[in-house]
Amino acid sequence: MSVLIEVCIDSLESLPIAQRAGAGRIELCSSLATGGLTASAGYMKHAARIATVPVYGIIRPREGDFLYSSDDVDIMLEDIHTAKLAGLNGVVIGALGADGKIDEVAVKAMINAASGMGITFHRAIDHCSAPFEALEFLMAHGVERVLTSGLAKRADEGINTLKDMVKLTQGRLSIMPGAGVSPENAKRIIVETGATEIHLSGKTTRPSLMSYRNEKATMGSGESDFAITVTNPDTILHMVAALQ
Q: Which residues pair with 96 in a beta bridge?
A: 102
pLDDT digits (tens, 9 = 90+) for 48-72: 999 999 999 999 999 999 999 999 9
- Cβ atoms 109, 77 nearer than 8 A: yes
C-alpha–C-alpha distance, residues 10 and 97, integer Å: 28
C-alpha–C-alpha distance, residues 179 and 156, integer Å: 8
- Cβ atoms 235, 229 nearer than 8 A: no
- Mean per-residue pLDDT over the chain, rounded: 96
pLDDT at 220 > cutoff 80:
no
The pLDDT score that the predictor gives to residue 218 is: 80
**Residue 125 buriedness (CB in 10 A; 0-12 / 13-18 / 19+):** buried
pLDDT at 118 > cutoff 70:
yes
C-alpha–C-alpha distance, residues 125 and 127, integer Å: 5
Q: Residues 1-5: what's their mean pLDDT? A: 89
- Cβ atoms 10, 32 nearer than 8 A: yes
Of residues 148 and 33, more confidence is placed in: 148
The CA-atom distances, in angstroms, between 110 and each of 119, 180, 238 are 9, 28, 36
Q: Residues 213-233: what's their mean pLDDT? A: 84
Of residues 34 and 223, more confidence is placed in: 34
pTM (two decimals): 0.95
With pLDDT > 90 as the criterion, what percentage of the chain qualifies? 91
Q: Residues 155-170: what's their mean pLDDT? A: 97
- Cβ atoms 34, 5 nearer than 8 A: no
Instruction: Look at 1-15, 119-133, 145-159, 217-231 and tell me which has the smallest mean pLDDT.
Output: 217-231
Q: Residues 192-198: what's their mean pLDDT? A: 97
Q: How confident is the model at residue 167 (pLDDT cuts 50, 70, 90)?
A: very high
The pLDDT score that the predictor gives to residue 215 is: 82
- Cβ atoms 70, 105 nearer than 8 A: no
Q: Residues 147-164: what's their mean pLDDT? A: 98
The pLDDT score that the predictor gives to residue 202 is: 95
Q: What domains can you pick out in the chain, each with its CATH number?
A: 4-202+231-243 (3.20.20.380)
C-alpha–C-alpha distance, residues 72 and 82, integer Å: 15
In SS3 terms, the chain reads as: CCCEEEEEECCCCHHHHHHHHCCCEEEECECHHHCCECCCHHHHHHHHHHCCCCEEEECCCCCCCCCCCHHHHHHHHHHHHHHHHHCCCEEEECCECCCCCECHHHHHHHHHHCCCCEEEECHHHHHCCCHHHHHHHHHHCCCCEEEECCCCCCHHHCHHHHHHHHHHHCCCCEEEEECCCCCCCHHHHHHHHCCCEEEECCEEEEECCCCCCCCCCCCCCCCCCCEEEEECHHHHHHHHHHHC
